[in-house]
Amino acid sequence: MKLIWSPETATKAYIDTVRSCQVFNESGVAELVSAMAAGWNAKLIVETWSQGGAIATSIGLEIASRHTCGRHVCVVADENARSEFITAMKEAADMNPEVLVGEPEEVMSELAGIDFMVVDCKRKDYARVLRQARLNQSGAVLVCKNANSKSDSSFRWRSVIDSGSRKVVRTVFLPVGKGLDMAHVSCSGGNSGSSKVEKKRWIKHFDQRSGEEHVIRK
């Protein structure tokens, strides 16, 4: 995925997510990832979800996919998690997202060309999920939420991404929620979008409702 930023699309997704997530007393992670996925025009958005987890981020990603006319897929471990996730999304936002069940090796084989991916660091296998991801040949953006809760303290982006044609172009950690650890990954030679990334700049947005400051690349 080339980093061609659309502020209009990002803003629309951000506002829609704020409205949809008003019932959740969370810290703005949903709004931020929704704006990023939409602003970068992600066509295939993938996330992992664990049973009992929050769904605000999932709502934000579903909203982003609607603004990009893309596909949002949630990966869960078993049928119980699938049932709980679908019920929660339906009750909270009247949404019916696509859900795949299974181990990372099985599920990721069905998801080629991922543009934007969010994994939960509370999952013990989050690093394995990242390794198995089949990214877009033009590159992708990967996000680890709950990064302060990483089960693997030795985690490094290059240890799970740098191999063959996949290279980490840039990483950033944002103190939003329980931590967002993000990476832009280039594929097929490693040059895709790298020059554009260096020309990008970060913009700050102050959320009057939560009192938090969000940082988004423009």
- pTM of the complete model: 0.83
Chain segment 9-65, per-residue pLDDT in tens: 999 999 999 999 988 877 789 999 999 999 999 999 999 998 999 999 999 999 999
Chain segment 61-116, per-residue pLDDT in tens: 999 999 999 999 999 999 999 999 999 999 999 999 999 999 887 899 899 999 99
- All residues at 6 or more sequence positions from 130 whose CB lies less than 8 Å from its CB, including other chains: 117, 119, 142, 160, 161
Buried b (16+ CB within 10 A) or exposed e, 70-82: bbbbbbbbeeebb
What is the overall mean pLDDT for the chain?
86
DSSP 129: H
User: Residue 218 in 3-state DSSP?
Assistant: coil
CATH fold of 7-188+197-217 reads Rossmann fold (3.40.50)
Distance CA 84, CA 92 (A): 12
Tokens of 118: 């969010």
The whole-number pLDDT of residue 191 equals 43
